[in-house]
A and B are shown apart, each in its own frame.
Chain A
């Protein structure tokens, strides 16, 4: 690891932090500044001007938006996320009770999706143009081009309704025994995973095939090595960088997919919490959840870039 790489990575992390700051400004502007006066909205149309003024003062709305933004930012940085407008509960508590569930779902999906996607992608590259490759690639295109809820709906229809293997829409997540855990996780993980697998598989296949076009592969083949050997021992090590990049990028799709999956399966995670917050227009809750999601997304994208930097010798000498 040389100095240039460290500098590149440090620069990338700094850029990520700046993006996060910019994102927080956008989120705050959309939820707290642009929609108009929250105090007026809460009191309804026939509130007296004095009441509105008092509430506005209490909520701190009579100060400038810039000041409010910095207060809000300081609150988030210090872990004080404010109180839910609807339930009056601290937002931090609500999130703390839900976040582990979402992380668990994401972890199980990742553990299931990454090996499968890499395997499929490498096999497709190995047997490029075969019936297997064409079928897998076509399925992948179909899966990525339809919305996530469709995959989930079809999965419920096939596995829960037709085959009766699994409970249709699990209303409670049972984590007591491995069997119960498997049953309540199977469908959410399957639906969430399929989209990510499709994405990751396509990128892996492309990365390996890209390497197969290189001159050194021709050399390997010329000296008599088998196609499998050329792919596994020569192309794959060189494709690790792009593949790591693809994995991190695909995992960032988890963040979008999880919103749909948690709602359709009634999974008690943070995305469900946020959608409920949006429906009830519970701004502190929406702001906090949005920042968590955006931070997660930026971290994954940053990770993808860092993988690219570490693995690409051309970038090292720029």
Chain B
């Protein structure tokens, strides 16, 4: 018997292509997500001139061949404004999510693998943070320090660390009880090795799904703050600030307030579709479990 027949699974799934396990809704979500990521990558190449240019046609124009998504409250092209806002919308939320899930996963693994007083102390401290509603925490911090992009990232990261910690800890506690972890301990492996090599690979799937969920939360929180005028500050603008700036177009049913709002909806719903349709979760009624 040659080796290939003994280890078929990985090789076979590779060959089937990485899209094979995705349902139609999942693929749609992936496509929309990929589109926005591409837009975010492209945005920094916009020239300053294109960004500041005011249209002669006036403010709050409707859709036209010249301005596909109309113009904003200063007569700037809405499409360019949205594209320019993409990195602030996606980037800030993404960095915050990475930090939150990185810290949450690290602490969660540490708590589960170490146990004892480390576990109970970490759980207590992070539970305290959970008892402040996320928007309230953000408002209090912004009242104290004033708003900046760095602060927004920090706030979102702090707000979403406890949630990730809880999930990772509960998953890791189960893995930690497995025989192979016991064997690794008996072998005399260090704590870091057990966390990294024995436990982490087994909870990677749920960790990624959780990251997607936290990303949506972070995006919502940051967009809401920008909408209140407390998030990303002018001249920078994310989609939340674009909705706020152009609220004046609402009575005329303007596209300039609708477009950024729909951009947010498209992105968050796409991420939701992706995490709800991750391959390997075939049960249609997963909500019940």
The interface of chain A, by Cβ under 8 A from chain B, is: 19-20, 22-23, 26-27, 30-31, 34-35, 128-129, 141-142, 145-150, 153-154, 156-157, 161-162, 168-169, 202, 205-206, 209-210, 213, 252, 255-256, 259-260, 263-264, 274-275, 277-279, 281, 283, 286, 290, 293-294, 297-298, 301
Contact = CB atoms under 8 A, between A and B. Distances in A.
Given A26-B128, A202-B287, A146 B142 contact: no
A242 B136 CA distance: 27
28 contacts: A19-B128, A22-B131, A23-B131, A26-B132, A34-B145, A145-B272, A147-B224, A147-B240, A147-B268, A149-B223, A153-B261, A154-B261, A161-B250, A161-B253, A169-B250, A205-B287, A256-B134, A275-B139, A275-B228, A277-B143, A278-B139, A278-B142, A278-B230, A279-B229, A290-B136, A294-B136, A297-B131, A297-B136
Nearest to B272: A145
A195 B4 CA distance: 53
Contacts of B223: 147, 149
Main secondary structure of the interface of A (DSSP, over half): helix
Contacts of A286: 139-140, 143
Contact of B243 (A35, A150, A290): A150
B280 interface: no
Nearest to A29: B144
A20 B127 CA distance: 12
A161 B243 contact: no
The list of the 3 closest CB pairs from A to B, nearest first, reads A278-B143, A22-B128, A286-B143
Contact of B136 (A168, A169, A293): A293
Nearest to A203: B287
A264 B250 CA distance: 12
A34 B131 contact: no
A255 B134 CA distance: 10
A281 B268 contact: no
Nearest to A144: B272
The residue in B131, B250, B264, B272 that gathers the most chain A C-beta atoms within 10 A of its C-beta is B131
A213 B142 contact: no
B133 A168 contact: no
A147 B220 contact: yes
B227 A142 contact: no
B227 A149 contact: yes
A168 B139 contact: no
B135 interface: yes
A23 B128 contact: yes
Q: Which of A141, A145, A281, A290 has the most CB of B within 10 A?
A: A145
A31 B140 contact: yes
A205 to B, nearest CB: 7
A177 to B, nearest CB: 25
A22 B126 CA distance: 11
B268 A290 contact: no
A26 B230 CA distance: 20
Contacts, number: 140
A298 to B, nearest CB: 6
Given A128-B285, A213-B288, A147 B144 contact: no
Contact of A255 (B136, B216, B224): B136
Nearest to A292: B136
Contacts of B178: none
Given A259-B228, A294-B132, A209 B140 contact: no
Nearest to B268: A145
A279 B133 contact: no
Contact of A147 (B127, B142, B264, B271): B264
Interface string B248-266: 0011110001100100110
Contacts of A129: 284
A145 B216 contact: yes
B133 A294 contact: yes
B37 to A, nearest CB: 18
A281 B264 contact: no
Nearest to B220: A147
B243 A149 contact: yes
A158 B268 CA distance: 22
A4 to B, nearest CB: 23
B228 A263 contact: yes
B264 A146 contact: yes
Contacts of B243: 149-150, 153
B141 interface: yes
A168 B140 contact: no
A187 to B, nearest CB: 12
Contact of A31 (B144, B247, B285): B144
A260 B128 contact: no
Given A23-B132, A205-B287, A294-B133, A30 B251 contact: no
Contacts of A19: 127-128, 131
